[in-house]
């Protein structure tokens, strides 16, 4: 019967709200109580280091190209041994939308999202982070990853002339 249903629909919610009144609120009282964000939470971006303590970033510009709001900028350069690095690296967090595309694009695991969400500022110029502010002294989510330590150095020295590198193989020796 529609009338009965309407009446029930009008009266029953009163009981629900009354019961809710005596339940404990679910609010987290923020500055005093803090919730632990999940490990993959996307907040402040960091630049990590490889296990040897060197910078992972090879200044490939992939993150800056992937960023939908163009908030990453850098200048690439080469060390004397040919290893690429960024002379300066800047993220404007006032524009960043924390989409994580930069971290996904990065081939070296250098740029990563960290769960540190508490960094509001009074002036938006303070939201512009330079390389020194972004660099941390750990490897982030994968501390063992070290694949790009020698990236690019083969261009400067002759093949086989770098540490941890074998000389060229004489393919004729493989013949029967």
Torsion of CA 4, 6, 10, 11, to 10 degrees: 10
Whole-angstrom Cα distance, residue 38 to residue 61? Answer: 28
Contact 69, 61 (CB under 8 A): no
CA atoms within 13 A on the CB side of 74: 24
What is the x/- site pattern for ligand SF4, positions 67-96, by CB under 6 A? x-x-xx------------------x----x
Residues 21-60 that bind other proteins (CB under 8 A): 21, 23-27, 29
Contact segment (CB under 8 A) with other proteins among 11-19, 112-120, 157-165, 167-175 equals 11-19
Is the Cβ of residue 19 or residue 172 nearer to other proteins in the bound state?
Answer: 19
Instruction: Find the largest Cα–Cα distance for the chain.
Output: 96
Whole-angstrom Cα distance, residue 166 to residue 163? Answer: 8
Whole-angstrom Cα distance, residue 66 to residue 36? Answer: 29
Contact 84, 159 (CB under 8 A): no
Q: Does 153 bind ligand SF4 (CB under 6 A)?
A: no
Out of 73, 81, 90, 99, name the contact with ligand SF4 by CB under 6 A. Answer: 99
Q: Does 46 bind ligand SF4 (CB under 6 A)?
A: no
Is the Cβ of residue 33 or residue 144 nearer to other proteins in the bound state?
Answer: 33
The residues of the shown chain that bind ligand SF4, judged by CB under 6 A, are: 45, 57-63, 66-67, 69, 71-72, 91, 96-102, 105-106, 108, 110-111
The residues of the shown chain that bind other proteins, judged by CB under 8 A, are: 10, 13-14, 16-18, 20-21, 23-27, 29
């Amino acid at each position: 019967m529609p009338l009965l249903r309407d009446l029930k629909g009008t009266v029953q919610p009163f009981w629900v709200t009354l019961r809710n009144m005596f339940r404990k609120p679910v609010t987290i009282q923020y500055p005093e109580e803090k919730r632990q964000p999940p490990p993959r939470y996307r907040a402040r971006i960091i630049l990590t280091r490889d296990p040897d303590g060197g910078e992972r970033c090879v200044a490939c510009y992939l993150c800056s190209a992937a960023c939908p709001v163009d908030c990453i900028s850098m200048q690439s350069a080469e060390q004397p041994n040919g290893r690429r690095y960024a002379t300066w690296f800047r993220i404007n967090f006032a524009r960043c939308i924390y989409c994580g595309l930069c971290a996904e694009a990065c081939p070296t695991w250098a740029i990563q999202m960290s769960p540190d969400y508490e960094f509001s500022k009074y002036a938006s110029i303070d939201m512009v982070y330079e390389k020194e502010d972004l660099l941390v002294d750990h490897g982030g989510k994968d501390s063992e990853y070290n694949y790009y330590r020698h990236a690019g150095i083969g261009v400067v020295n002759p093949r086989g002339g770098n540490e941890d590198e074998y000389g060229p193989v004489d393919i004729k020796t493989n013949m029967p």
